Protein backbone atom coordinates (compact mmCIF):
# COMPACT_ATOMS: atom_id res chain seq x y z
CA UNK A 1 0.00 0.00 0.00
CA UNK A 2 1.47 3.34 -0.85
CA UNK A 3 2.05 5.74 2.01
CA UNK A 4 -0.17 8.53 0.78
CA UNK A 5 -3.09 6.14 0.60
CA UNK A 6 -2.40 5.01 4.17
CA UNK A 7 -2.36 8.64 5.38
CA UNK A 8 -5.69 9.32 3.66
CA UNK A 9 -7.23 6.23 5.30
CA UNK A 10 -5.86 7.16 8.75
CA UNK A 11 -7.10 10.76 8.38
CA UNK A 12 -10.54 9.48 7.50
CA UNK A 13 -10.56 7.24 10.59
CA UNK A 14 -9.47 10.22 12.65
CA UNK A 15 -12.38 12.34 11.39
CA UNK A 16 -14.79 9.49 11.94
CA UNK A 17 -13.80 9.13 15.59
CA UNK A 18 -12.96 12.78 16.34
CA UNK A 19 -9.45 11.97 17.43
CA UNK A 20 -5.89 12.18 16.24
CA UNK A 21 -4.86 9.58 13.66
CA UNK A 22 -1.34 9.01 14.92
CA UNK A 23 -1.73 9.26 18.68
CA UNK A 24 -4.54 8.05 20.90
CA UNK A 25 -5.48 11.55 21.92
CA UNK A 26 -8.63 13.62 21.73
CA UNK A 27 -8.92 17.31 20.84
CA UNK A 28 -9.68 19.44 23.92
CA UNK A 29 -12.77 21.63 23.71
CA UNK A 30 -12.48 25.35 24.41
CA UNK A 31 -14.68 27.54 26.63
CA UNK A 32 -17.36 28.44 24.05
CA UNK A 33 -18.28 24.79 23.41
CA UNK A 34 -21.76 23.83 24.74
CA UNK A 35 -20.64 20.40 26.06
CA UNK A 36 -18.46 22.20 28.64
CA UNK A 37 -21.64 23.82 30.03
CA UNK A 38 -23.69 20.64 30.38
CA UNK A 39 -24.30 18.62 33.52
CA UNK A 40 -22.43 15.36 32.86
CA UNK A 41 -24.40 12.11 33.01
CA UNK A 42 -23.79 9.15 35.35
CA UNK A 43 -21.77 6.25 33.96
CA UNK A 44 -23.64 2.92 33.98
CA UNK A 45 -21.52 0.68 36.19
CA UNK A 46 -21.71 -2.27 33.79
CA UNK A 47 -19.99 -0.09 31.16
CA UNK A 48 -16.81 0.10 33.25
CA UNK A 49 -15.80 -3.48 32.50
CA UNK A 50 -15.93 -3.17 28.71
CA UNK A 51 -12.69 -3.06 26.66
CA UNK A 52 -14.02 0.10 24.97
CA UNK A 53 -14.31 1.88 28.31
CA UNK A 54 -10.82 0.76 29.42
CA UNK A 55 -9.35 2.00 26.16
CA UNK A 56 -11.20 5.32 26.57
CA UNK A 57 -9.67 5.80 30.04
CA UNK A 58 -6.22 5.01 28.68
CA UNK A 59 -6.72 7.58 25.90
CA UNK A 60 -7.87 10.17 28.47
CA UNK A 61 -4.56 9.72 30.33
CA UNK A 62 -2.63 9.98 27.05
CA UNK A 63 -4.52 13.17 26.11
CA UNK A 64 -3.86 14.67 29.56
CA UNK A 65 -0.18 13.78 29.40
CA UNK A 66 0.36 15.11 25.88
CA UNK A 67 -1.13 18.41 27.02
CA UNK A 68 1.11 18.44 30.14
CA UNK A 69 -2.00 18.38 32.33
CA UNK A 70 -2.50 17.14 35.89
CA UNK A 71 -6.23 16.51 35.37
CA UNK A 72 -8.74 15.99 32.58
CA UNK A 73 -12.51 15.57 32.69
CA UNK A 74 -14.52 13.70 30.04
CA UNK A 75 -16.62 16.78 29.01
CA UNK A 76 -13.36 18.48 27.96
CA UNK A 77 -13.07 15.90 25.19
CA UNK A 78 -16.75 16.17 24.27
CA UNK A 79 -18.01 13.20 26.29
CA UNK A 80 -20.56 14.41 28.81
CA UNK A 81 -20.16 11.67 31.41
CA UNK A 82 -19.07 11.80 35.06
CA UNK A 83 -15.46 10.73 34.60
CA UNK A 84 -12.16 12.42 35.29
CA UNK A 85 -8.54 11.35 35.44
CA UNK A 86 -5.68 13.00 37.27
CA UNK A 87 -2.08 12.77 38.34
CA UNK A 88 1.02 11.34 36.76
CA UNK A 89 4.74 11.24 37.05
CA UNK A 90 6.33 14.47 38.40
CA UNK A 91 2.99 16.18 39.12
CA UNK A 92 2.93 15.34 42.84
CA UNK A 93 -0.60 13.95 42.39
CA UNK A 94 -1.25 10.22 42.43
CA UNK A 95 -2.74 8.76 39.23
CA UNK A 96 -6.45 8.17 39.75
CA UNK A 97 -9.64 7.70 37.80
CA UNK A 98 -12.85 8.96 39.40
CA UNK A 99 -16.16 7.74 37.98
CA UNK A 100 -19.52 9.12 39.19
CA UNK A 101 -17.78 11.14 41.93
CA UNK A 102 -19.77 12.91 44.61
CA UNK A 103 -17.81 15.64 46.36
CA UNK A 104 -18.58 16.97 49.82
CA UNK A 105 -16.80 20.24 50.59
CA UNK A 106 -15.49 20.55 54.13
CA UNK A 107 -15.68 23.94 55.89
CA UNK A 108 -15.48 27.17 53.90
CA UNK A 109 -13.36 27.99 50.84
CA UNK A 110 -10.14 29.12 52.51
CA UNK A 111 -7.62 29.13 49.66
CA UNK A 112 -7.23 31.07 46.44
CA UNK A 113 -5.73 28.80 43.84
CA UNK A 114 -4.25 29.98 40.55
CA UNK A 115 -5.23 27.41 37.92
CA UNK A 116 -4.80 27.15 34.17
CA UNK A 117 -7.58 25.21 32.45
CA UNK A 118 -6.88 23.22 29.28
CA UNK A 119 -10.34 24.35 28.10
CA UNK A 120 -9.77 28.06 28.77
CA UNK A 121 -6.43 28.52 27.03
CA UNK A 122 -6.95 32.06 25.86
CA UNK A 123 -8.01 33.27 29.32
CA UNK A 124 -4.75 32.21 31.00
CA UNK A 125 -4.49 31.11 34.66
CA UNK A 126 -7.43 32.19 36.86
CA UNK A 127 -7.64 32.75 40.62
CA UNK A 128 -10.30 30.49 42.08
CA UNK A 129 -11.53 30.03 45.67
CA UNK A 130 -11.10 26.43 46.84
CA UNK A 131 -11.66 24.33 49.94
CA UNK A 132 -8.66 22.82 51.75
CA UNK A 133 -10.41 19.48 52.22
CA UNK A 134 -12.97 17.48 50.32
CA UNK A 135 -14.63 14.16 50.99
CA UNK A 136 -15.19 12.15 47.82
CA UNK A 137 -17.10 9.00 46.98
CA UNK A 138 -16.31 7.51 43.56
CA UNK A 139 -15.73 4.36 41.52
CA UNK A 140 -12.33 3.66 40.05
CA UNK A 141 -11.53 2.16 36.62
CA UNK A 142 -12.09 -1.36 38.02
CA UNK A 143 -15.54 -0.50 39.33
CA UNK A 144 -14.35 -0.48 42.94
CA UNK A 145 -16.13 1.98 45.24
CA UNK A 146 -14.14 4.39 47.45
CA UNK A 147 -14.93 7.04 50.05
CA UNK A 148 -11.91 9.15 50.87
CA UNK A 149 -10.86 12.51 52.23
CA UNK A 150 -8.37 14.55 50.19
CA UNK A 151 -6.42 17.68 51.01
CA UNK A 152 -3.74 19.91 49.50
CA UNK A 153 -2.92 19.83 45.81
CA UNK A 154 -5.02 16.70 45.10
CA UNK A 155 -8.11 18.29 46.70
CA UNK A 156 -7.75 21.30 44.40
CA UNK A 157 -7.38 19.13 41.29
CA UNK A 158 -10.54 17.21 42.32
CA UNK A 159 -12.50 20.48 42.77
CA UNK A 160 -11.41 21.73 39.33
CA UNK A 161 -12.34 18.47 37.58
CA UNK A 162 -15.61 18.11 39.50
CA UNK A 163 -16.56 21.62 38.31
CA UNK A 164 -16.16 20.36 34.72
CA UNK A 165 -18.76 17.64 35.43
CA UNK A 166 -21.15 20.37 36.63
CA UNK A 167 -20.57 22.54 33.54
CA UNK A 168 -18.53 25.09 35.47
CA UNK A 169 -15.22 26.66 34.41
CA UNK A 170 -12.51 28.61 36.25
CA UNK A 171 -13.55 31.76 34.34
CA UNK A 172 -16.93 31.71 36.15
CA UNK A 173 -15.49 32.52 39.59
CA UNK A 174 -15.24 35.99 41.09
CA UNK A 175 -12.44 36.11 43.65
CA UNK A 176 -13.82 39.32 45.21
CA UNK A 177 -16.81 37.36 46.59
CA UNK A 178 -14.47 35.62 49.04
CA UNK A 179 -12.97 38.55 51.01
CA UNK A 180 -12.24 36.41 54.10
CA UNK A 181 -9.52 34.46 52.31
CA UNK A 182 -6.15 35.75 53.49
CA UNK A 183 -3.47 36.71 50.97
CA UNK A 184 -1.07 34.13 52.41
CA UNK A 185 -3.51 31.36 51.51
CA UNK A 186 -2.71 31.65 47.81
CA UNK A 187 -1.56 28.54 46.00
CA UNK A 188 -0.23 28.01 42.50
CA UNK A 189 -1.08 24.91 40.45
CA UNK A 190 1.88 24.36 38.13
CA UNK A 191 0.16 22.14 35.54
CA UNK A 192 -3.00 22.86 33.55
CA UNK A 193 -6.21 20.99 34.36
Active-site residue list: 161
Contact 158, 149 (CB under 8 A): no
CB-nearer residue toward Zn ion: 28 or 99: 28
CB of 120 to Zn ion, least distance (A): 7
Q: Does 60 bind Zn ion (CB under 5 A)?
A: no
CB of 72 to Zn ion, least distance (A): 8
Q: Does 70 bind Zn ion (CB under 5 A)?
A: no
No. of helices (H) and no. of strands (E), the chain: 3, 8
Rounded Cα distance between 161 and 159, Å, is 6
CB of 164 to Zn ion, least distance (A): 6
User: What is the total count of residues that contact Zn ion (CB under 5 A)?
Assistant: 2
Using CB positions, name the residue nearest to Zn ion: 117
Phi, psi of 160 (to 5 degrees): -65, -45
CB of 124 to Zn ion, least distance (A): 13
Q: Does 189 bind Zn ion (CB under 5 A)?
A: no
Q: Does 117 bind Zn ion (CB under 5 A)?
A: yes
Stretch that binds Zn ion, among 20-28, 110-118, 143-151, 181-189 (CB under 5 A): 110-118
Count the neighbouring beta carbons within 10 Å of the beta carbon of residue 165. Answer: 23
Rounded Cα distance between 126 and 119, Å, is 12
Stretch that binds Zn ion, among 30-38, 58-66, 113-121, 141-149 (CB under 5 A): 113-121
Contact 54, 15 (CB under 8 A): no
Stretch that binds Zn ion, among 46-54, 100-108, 117-125, 173-181 (CB under 5 A): 117-125
Query: Would you list the DSSP string of 70-99?
Result: SEEEGGGGT--BSEEEEEETTTTEEEEEEE
Contact 193, 160 (CB under 8 A): yes
CB-nearer residue toward Zn ion: 85 or 193: 193
The residue ranges that bind Zn ion (CB under 5 A) are 117, 193
Amino acid sequence: MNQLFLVVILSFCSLAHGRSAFFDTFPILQAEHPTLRMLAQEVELNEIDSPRFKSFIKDMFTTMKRNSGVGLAAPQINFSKKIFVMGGFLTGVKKRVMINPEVEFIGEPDKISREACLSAHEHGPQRVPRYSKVYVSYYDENGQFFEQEFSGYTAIVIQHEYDHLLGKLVIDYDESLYPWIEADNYVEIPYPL
